[in-house]
Structure 1
Amino acid sequence: METRQKVLQPVSPNHIRRWIRGAGSALWNLIVLFLPVALLIQSVHFLQEIFVQRQGALYFHAYRDGDTRSAYVLLILLLVFFQYQLLKNGFRQWRRILSRNWPPLVVAILLFALILDSYIMVNDRAIVHSDFLSLGRETTHTWNDVEKITVGYTLGDEYSDLFAGSYILQFSDGSDLEIWSGGGMGVSDLKVIDTLALKRKIPFIIQTPLSPDALDTLKTGNWSPEDQQFLTNLYQRR
């Protein structure tokens, strides 16, 4: 019985060049798609640093409520749409692309302005919040306006160790503001704000006591022992 052996043919230089050109084109397309998204996220923080008056802020951050998150997603989708049009038609056609797609362009500019104007700022005198839909307007409450503070949390599912805490300031005018998860605070920032609240002896309410699962999540999370102890004490405060 005759057996045949496969003879490996050398790869031609033309095949190698075509492969390199294809890989380079794919890499360029990925850069074109993802780099503007990264620049968009960084530009929001950079522009807020420039245009927003800090007024001696102990904490400042873009606000992350549901409206702002939804706007971010929609803005990124619109950005990807324009990038696709540029890749499809060529960068030299950018004027024609923008003129033909002016409605989504207007929506994208408006969303960017609303996201840029959504932030929270806390100092030792007041809490300043610019809501997503209040373009150009700030809401300011002094610490004397805070009637009570309510803390709670939510946990992730069985496949996730997510612990999302809430620290809600209840104001005398009936409004409230969640400043922990919505304000993008880390535990170190929350300690500073909580110290201010303790000095002013603001009434404190535990909305959701720590469950055994929550305690396990705190112990196994990416917190330092000091942060774990602070969070445990926070939810056991009387």
Structure 2
Amino acid sequence: MKTSGNTILITGGGSGIGRELARRWHDLGNTVIVAGRTLSAVEETAEGFAHMHALQLDVASEEDVARFVGELLDRFPALNVLINNAGIMRYEDITSARDLADAEATIETNLLGPIRLIDGLLDHLKGQADAAIINVTSGLAFVPMPKAATYSATKAAMHSYTVSLRVKLAGAVEVIELAPPAVQTELTPGQSQREGYMPLDAFIDETMKPFEAGETPPEVLTEMVLFLRNAEAEGRFDEALAMTSRF
């Protein structure tokens, strides 16, 4: 993926990983559109950045995704990169019958949202030079956190979907998976201060290195996430699962 001269859409751009990726990509010489459910949050992300634009989008709404795609392509016909970053993480007790609202919202946001957005933009992206799709998954795609069972399942599904997409779009659109470890953001309450989680700035610095190096790998991984990413291949799955189960 080229590092400058792109027009990039980043969902979930109102905070955390999405906000900092947007600013870093902007500073490399790209036009960046940040989208999020709360307009004031993405406007705050874009404030002071000359080539960054804020748009409202609820990725959990099929109707809003359709509206957004039309507006986006009308205003930014040079769009050639989609970064699916928006996501929610809810802790659940799955040991007995419960209200499934959290599980349903997680699936709508983390799985159906990016699939719908890819579907809406794919024909356009296939006609663009240097087109790319980056799907942000998680180390929990490879070893689940039982306390966040649906979140883990949606990230595993997005990993699988990304692999399939990469095969089917080979030669037309570059498909990249970005799988963060536990990062100090407000994905869950108090997480930005949680000891043992990777500082956000350090995560962004390490994540951007392979992009800036030239040949972007199919999976962009920090050193910290490899404990989960490679657990099964290295015969450590039970050990890794025991660790994620302690949370």
TM-score range, shorter chain: under 0.3
- The structure with the larger Rg is 1
Select the structure with the greater relative contact order (CA < 8 A; seq sep ≥ 6): 2
